[in-house]
Structure 1
Amino acid sequence: MKPYQVLVVDDSAFMRKIISDLIEKDAEFQVTATAVNGREAVDKVKELQPDLVTMDVEMPEMNGLEALKRIMLDHPLPVIMLSGINEEGMKETILALEGGAFDFIRKPSISSAHDINSVGESLREQMKEAMLERERREARSASALLAAEAPSVPPKPESVPSQSPTKPADKPAGGFEGTTNRLLHRETRISQAPVTSDTAKPVDIKSLNKPARQGDRFKVIPPEANRADGPFKASSEPKAETRAPDASRPKTAAAAGGVPGTPSVTGRERKSGVKGLDKLVAVGCSTGGPRALKAFLEKIPADFPAPIVIVQHMPPNFTKSLAQRLNTFSPLDVMEAEQGMILRKGAAYIAPGGYHMKVTETASGQFAISLTKEEARNGHRPSVDTLFESLLPLDSLERHAVIMTGMGSDGAKMMKSLYDAGIRSTFAESEETCVVYGMPRSAVELQCVSYILPLQDIAPRLVQVVK
Structure 2
Amino acid sequence: MDRVRVLVVDDSALVRKLMSTMLACDPDIEVVGTAADPLIARDKIKQLNPDVLTLDVEMPRMDGLTFLENLMRLRPMPVVMVSSLTTQGAEVTLRALELGAVDFLAKPSSDLASSFGEHALEICAKVKQAAQARPRARTTVRKLDVAPRLSADAVLPRAQTAGTRGGSPIIAIGASTGGTEAVRVVLEAMPPDAPPILVTQHIPAAFSGPFAARMDRCSAMRVCEAQDGQPIQSGHAYIAPGSHHLLVMWDGAKYVCRLHDGPPVNRHRPSVDVLFRSLAASAGAATIATLLTGMGDDGARGLLELRQAGAATLVQDEPSSVVWGMPGAAWKLDAAGEMQSIEHMAARLLALARHPHTGAGGA
Aligning the two structures, in what range does the TM-score lie when normalised by the shorter sequence? 0.7 to 0.9
User: Is the Cα contact below 8 Å between 2:301 and 2:335 reproduced in 1?
Assistant: no
1:384 and 2:272 correspond: yes
1:417 counterpart letter in structure 2: E
> Does the 8 Å contact 2:229/2:257 carry over to 1?
yes
CA distance in 2: counterparts of 1:448 and 1:87, whole angstroms:
36
- Structure-2 separation of matches of 1:396 and 1:405: 24
Hey, what does 1:160 align to over in structure 2?
none
Aligned to 2:359: none
**Which residue is 2:210 aligned to?**
321
Residue identity matched to 2:63: N
The 1:294/1:358 distance shift into structure 2, 3 A limit, reads same
Aligned CA RMSD, in angstroms, stands at 1.9
Cα deviations by residue, 1:241-276 (Å, 9 ceiling, x for unpaired): xxxxxxxxxxxxxxxxxxxxxxxxxxxxxxxxxxx8
Deviations along 1:277-307, one digit per CA (max 9) or x if unpaired, are 8221110011110010111110011121x11
Change in 2 beyond 3 A, CA 1:3/1:440: closer
Alignment of 1:116-155 (within 5 A): 116-131=116-131, 133=132
Q: Which residue of 2 aligns with 1:428?
A: 315
Distance 1:324 1:347 in 2: 13
- Number of residue pairs matched by the alignment: 329
Pair 296,376 (structure 1): closer, same or farther in 2 beyond 3 Å: same
Within 2, Cα distance between the matches of 1:318 and 1:25? 28
DSSP-derived class of the 2:54 partner: strand
Runs of 4+ in 1 over 3 A off after TM superposition: 1-4
Paired with 2:235 and 2:115, the residues of 1 have a C-alpha distance of 40
1:297 maps to which residue? Answer: 187
Contact 2:178 2:293 in 1 (8 A): yes
Name the SS of the counterpart of 1:121 in structure 2: helix
Q: Which residue of 1 aligns with 2:136?
A: 221
Moved more, 69-78 or 42-51: 42-51
Paired residues for 1:2-401 under 5 Å: 3-131=3-131, 133=132, 218-224=133-139, 278-304=168-194, 306-363=195-252, 365-395=253-283, 398-401=286-289
- TM-superposed CA distance for 1:393, in Å, is 2.4
Superposed displacement of residue 3, structure 1:
3.9
Please, which runs of 5 or more residues in structure 2 have no aligned partner?
Answer: 140-165, 355-363
The TM-score with structure 1 as length reference comes to 0.67
Task: Output the amino acid matched with 2:169.
Answer: K
8 A contact 2:250–2:282 mirrored in 1: yes
The structural deviation recorded for 1:437 is 0.6
- Structure 2 distance, partners of 1:49, 1:396, is 50
Letter of the aligned partner of 1:223 in structure 2? R
Please identify, of 446-455 and 43-52, the stretch whose mean Cα deviation from structure 2 is larger: 43-52
Moved more, 42-51 or 401-410: 42-51
The alignment status of 1:449 with 2:339, answered yes or no, reads: no
For 1:104 and 1:366, how far apart are their aligned partners in 2? Answer: 37
Residue of structure 1 aligned with 2:291, choices 403, 414, 435: 403
CA 353–81 in structure 1, closer or farther in 2 if over 3 Å, else same: same
When normalised by structure 2's length, the TM-score is 0.86
Equivalent-residue separation in structure 2 for 1:279 and 1:362 (angstroms) = 17
| In 2: Cα distance, 1:453 partner to 1:396 partner | 22
Give 1 or 2 for the bigger CA radius of gyration. Answer: 1
Query: How far 1:362 sits from its partner (Å)?
Result: 1.5
Please give the alpha-carbon distance, in whole angstroms, between the structure 1 residues aligned to 2:2 and 2:176.
Answer: 30
Q: Report the Cα offset of residue 397 of structure 1.
A: 6.9
Kindly provide the CA deviation profile for residues 134-183 of structure 1, in whole angstroms up to 9, marking residues without a partner as x: xxxxxxxxxxxxxxxxxxxxxxxxxxxxxxxxxxxxxxxxxxxxxxxxxx
1:292 partner SS: helix
Letter of the 1:278 counterpart: S
Are 1:416 and 2:331 an aligned pair? Answer: no
Distance in 2 (CA, whole Å) between partners of 1:87 and 1:59 is: 19
Q: Which amino acid aligns with 1:302?
A: P
**Using the alignment, how far apart are the partners of 1:77 and 1:127 within structure 2?**
12
Deviations 1:9-32 (A, max 9, x none): 111111111111111222332222
What is the CA–CA distance in structure 1 between the aligned matches of 2:6 and 2:283, rounded to whole Å? 50
